[in-house]
Amino acid sequence: MSFTESETKILDIPLTETCTLLENLGAVKVFDHDRIITHFDTPDHTLFQRGKILKLTEEGTLKLTINQHREDGTTEEIKVGVSRKEETVALLDRLGFIPISEVTARRISYEWDGVDFDIDIFPHIPPFLEIDLGESGKNLLEILTVLTLENRQSCTLSTPEVFQHVGKDYFLLFSLSNHAG
């Protein structure tokens, strides 16, 4: 079974102002912590080339996620909670996946009336905002206008693709040296 989500990323946001405007809108802050994100690939590095991303995210809990970005702007994604990092990495290794990159990035998450807002703060690029309207029925342009972000660049890229978009190589920047190649 797969699940589809449609997130829009707003690039290069003013961090403090966006948080203040979200709070003024009535959004509730539900998360504000660093996360450790480890990406996995096959030894011949073909998983990402096929448009798929496999990652383990540590943010108080552990989530294993595989997703495939679609041309229509949606992402087919499966997330599962796991309880032990070492065993999960060992399982992935037995399945033929190796860790290729790791980064610590801060995430600030808000929820408002069925809409999820995630602000991601990665090294080397300006912060960006992910908006997932879910089943809220809300209008994205109206929300962007309230947040004064309507003139900012928006996209449906994955995080590694956002880095590529701004001229940086995510996997080179955060490469695990013992698996670089």
What CATH number is attached to the domain comprising 135? 2.40.320.10
Whether residue 15 is contained in a domain is answered as yes
Structural domain tally of the chain? 1
Question: Which residues does residue 38 pair with via DSSP β-bridges, in sequence order?
Answer: 56, 102
34 is a domain residue: yes
| Predicted pLDDT of residue 55 | 96
Say how many CA atoms lie within 13 Å of 24 toward its Cβ: 10
Dist CA 33 CA 59 (whole Å) = 7
In which residue ranges of the chain is pLDDT below 70?
Answer: 1-6, 73, 177-181
In a domain, 128, yes or no: yes
Q: Report d(CA 103, CA 54) in Å as an integer.
A: 14
Instruction: Examine residue 180 and state whether it is found in any structural domain, yes or no.
Output: no
CB 116 within 8 A of CB 132: yes
User: Could you tell me if residue 181 is inside a domain?
Assistant: no
CA atoms within 13 A on the CB side of 53: 23
At 137 the three-state DSSP class reads coil
Q: What is the DSSP letter of 61?
A: S
Give the structural domain span for 89: 3-175
- pLDDT for 2 equals 47
Question: Are 102 and 179 spatial neighbours (Cβ–Cβ below 8 Å)?
Answer: no
Query: Rounded to whole angstroms, how far apart are CA atoms 152 and 55?
Result: 28
CB count within 10 Å of CB 37 equals 21
Whole-structure pTM value: 0.90
